[in-house]
A and B are shown apart, each in its own frame.
Chain A
C-alpha cells in the first residue's frame, strides 16, 4: 500500500450534476496525481469545481466518469461502509466553517473521529491533548467551540483532521472565514504539520496567500485543469 509514490490519483474524472433534466458538468476530465507529503493547492474561482474535486478525492461523492485511487485503492465501486472505513483510516477533513460539534469541548471534538475505535480512552485523550498542544491550544482543552475564536476553532478542526494519522488532509477554503492574520497563522500551522508528519495536504481555495505555502498549485477553471505551477524547489511535487 505504501509502495506507490502517489497518495491520490485522479484519472479522467467527470462529475455531472443532473438538475431538472439538465446536465451540468462540474468537472470535465480532470487528471491529477498527488505525491506523498505534498502540499497541493487547488486554485480556482467559485464554481470552478474545486470543492467538487476535493469531495470526490475524499470519497464523499462519486464520480460520473473516470476513477480516483487513494493509496492505490480504487474508490469506484466501494460500498458505503468500505468508503467510510477508508475515510476513517486515511483521510482528515478541514472545512470552511470549522464544523465542530457545539456540545463537545475542544479535546472531545478532536477525539470525535476515533471515539468508537478500539483504543483506550486514556490513550485517545493523551493523543488529542498532544495535538492541541502542538497547534497552540494546550490552554483551551476544555473550552467549547462557542468559547473559542474563529482561528482557535479552526486549530481544533486541524487537530481533529490529524487524530487518526491520515495520509491525506483535505481542506475546503480553510481560511475563508478568518481574517488575514489568523488565516496566515492557520496556513503556517498546516504547513508545519505537513512538513513534520509528512502528511499530504490538498487545499481548495481562491485565496492567493495559500500559493505561498504550496509545493504545487493546480489551476481549475470551469471544471478543467488549465495549468499548474510547481512553486518550491526540492518539493515533493517535483519528480526525483
Chain B
C-alpha cells in the first residue's frame, strides 16, 4: 500500500516536473488561497476597525468580512475550474500512456489514483504558495496600517487558517481532476492505445 503510493508519487512528480500546463493551474489556485487567507486573517481587524462605522451608520462589519470571504471562495473555485481544464488537457495528452498502462495489467484504480495524486500535488503546491503570499500580504498590510504591535493578534489564527487553506486547495484540485480522469480510464483500452 505504502510502496504503491510511493511509486505513484514518484511518477506523478516526474510528470509534474515536465508539465508546463501545471503552472496555470497552480498559480490560479495560489491566487484563490492567498485571497482567502488575507480575508480570514484580517477579518478580526476589519470588524474591530469598522466598529465605529457600525455605530454611526448601523453597518454590520461582519457582512463586509462575509463578502470578502465569498469573493475569495470564488477565486478558489475559479482555481478549481482551471485545474479541471488543465487536467483535461493533461489526461488527453496521455491517453495512449493510460492505454499502455492498462494493457500491461495495471488496474484502473491505480491509473486513476496516479492522476488524482498529480492533481493533489497541484493543490499542495498552489496552496502552499497561496498561504505564503496571503500571510505575507496580511502581515505587510497590518504593519503599514496599524504597526507591528497588532501582528500577534492577526497572525495567531495562521496555523488553523493555513491548514484549512491547504486542505481546501487539495480538495478542489482532486475534485476537478476526477471527471477528465474517469473519461480516460474508463474508455476502451484499444481506443486509448490507438488514440491520435
Nearest Cβ on chain A to B38's Cβ, whole angstroms: 36
- Kindly state whether residue A95 has any CB partner on chain B within 8 Å: yes
- Kindly state whether residue A81 has any CB partner on chain B within 8 Å: yes
Q: Mark B10-21, 1 if CB is under 8 A from A, else 0.
A: 010011011000
Partner of A60, one of B3, B18, B103: B103
Partner of A103, one of B18, B102, B104, B107: B18
Partner of B102, one of A84, A89, A102, A104: A84
Most buried by B among A81, A99, A121: A99
Chain A residues near B105 (CB-CB < 8 A): 84-89, 91, 113, 164
Is the beta-carbon distance between B104 and A113 smaller than 8 angstroms?
Answer: yes
Query: Which of B26-34, B44-52, B164-172, B186-194 binds A?
Result: B186-194
A121 CA to B105 CA in the complex, in Å? 18
Specify the chain B residue showing the minimal Cβ separation from A119: B3
Nearest Cβ on chain A to B136's Cβ, whole angstroms: 33
Chain A residues near B58 (CB-CB < 8 A): none
Given contacts A104-B11, A116-B7, contact A99 B193 (CB under 8 A): yes
Specify the chain B residue showing the minimal Cβ separation from A58: B103
Chain A residues near B108 (CB-CB < 8 A): 80-81, 84
Most buried by B among A86, A113, A116: A116
Nearest Cβ on chain A to B169's Cβ, whole angstroms: 24
List CB contacts (< 8 Å) of A83-137 with chain B: 84-89, 91-93, 95, 99, 101-104, 112-113, 115-116, 121
Q: Mark B91-134, 1 if CB is under 8 A from A, else 0.
A: 00000110111111111101000000000000000000000000
A60 CA to B189 CA in the complex, in Å? 6
| Interface size classification for chain A | 20 to 34
A37 CA to B80 CA in the complex, in Å? 53
Is the beta-carbon distance between A61 and B104 smaller than 8 angstroms?
Answer: no
A103 CA to B190 CA in the complex, in Å? 22
Is the beta-carbon distance between B193 and A95 smaller than 8 angstroms?
Answer: yes
Is the beta-carbon distance between A101 and B97 smaller than 8 angstroms?
Answer: yes
> A residues within 8 Å of B by Cβ?
55, 58, 60-61, 80-81, 84-89, 91-93, 95, 99, 101-104, 112-113, 115-116, 121, 160, 164
Beyond contacts A87-B105, A93-B100: 14 other A-B pairs, Cβ-Cβ < 8 A, are: A55-B190, A58-B103, A60-B193, A61-B188, A80-B108, A87-B103, A99-B100, A101-B101, A104-B11, A112-B106, A113-B104, A113-B106, A115-B106, A116-B107
The 10 residue pairs across chains A and B that have the minimum distance between CB atoms: A88-B105, A113-B104, A103-B14, A87-B105, A99-B100, A60-B189, A115-B7, A60-B190, A84-B105, A55-B190
> B residues within 8 Å of A by Cβ?
3-4, 7, 11, 14-15, 17-18, 96-97, 99-108, 110, 188-190, 193
